[in-house]
Homo-oligomer: A and B are copies of this chain.
Amino acid sequence: MKSLESKILNEGKVLSETVLKVDSFLNHQIDPKLMRQIGEEFAARFADAGVTKILTLESSGIAPSVMAGLTMNVPVVFARKRKSLTLINDLYSAEVHSFTKKETNEISISSEYINQNDVVLVIDDFLANGQAVLGLMDILNQAGASLAGVGIVIEKGFQDGGKMIREKGIQVESLAIIDSLAEGNVTFRKEGALK
């Protein structure tokens, strides 16, 4: 998605060979017009998937998900993160390890909002090692829901999450795929290129 790639080139900060900071439009400050475009793009790419619900993770997944939900006319559910494992009834939970933050969170949703009749589009801001997406897929499995696919704003193509999830036969649509952050430069994967 060209407008997203331009935004990343203009405003993204390459902090290391693996860390890209996009706090000016996605992770701290949010650009609502860009989110709207992103939502419309997800809606277009999953137009034929019969999506009944979007599942994301607080906090940075919420803005793109709500815009996709607006276009697709479906509700959005955001999983909550907790540090401690608390046992509460009627929750579907999974553990998600973040390699970047070096911490494990429990993520959970109420069983009220996703069930076996749902066809769910999972949306998240970043895809790196794929741990968050696997956690959300685990939750969908517990709910007996179907997975329509995975929509990602920015995929770190040099990490293995995208490959791992695509190899399961799941449709993963990443609106920008970064192949390298070497020497402080962002290099995008060409559209259509596989790796």
Residues of A at the B interface (CB closer than 8 Å) are 23-25, 28-33, 35-36, 58-59, 62-63, 65-67, 69-70, 73-78, 80, 83, 109-110, 112-113
Instruction: Collect the chain B residues with CB atoms within 8 Å of residue A32's CB.
Output: 66-67, 69-70, 73-76
Q: A29-B76, A63-B63 are in contact. List 20 more A-B contacts (CB 8 A).
A: A25-B75, A28-B78, A28-B110, A29-B75, A30-B69, A30-B75, A30-B76, A32-B67, A32-B70, A32-B73, A32-B76, A33-B70, A33-B73, A36-B70, A59-B62, A59-B80, A62-B63, A62-B66, A63-B76, A66-B67
Give the number of copies in the complex: 2
Instruction: Collect the chain B residues with CB atoms within 8 Å of residue A58's CB.
Output: 58-59
- Whether A28 and B63, one on each chain, are in contact in the complex, defined by CB atoms closer than 8 angstroms, is no
Tell me, rounded to whole Å, the shortest Cβ–Cβ distance linking A29 to chain B: 5
Instruction: Collect the chain B residues with CB atoms within 8 Å of residue A28's CB.
Output: 77-78, 80, 109-110, 113
Tell me, rounded to whole Å, the shortest Cβ–Cβ distance linking A181 to chain B: 21
- Whether A78 and B66, one on each chain, are in contact in the complex, defined by CB atoms closer than 8 angstroms, is no
Which 10 pairs of residues, A with B, have the shortest CB-CB distance? A32-B69, A58-B59, A32-B70, A30-B76, A29-B113, A62-B62, A59-B59, A63-B66, A29-B77, A32-B66
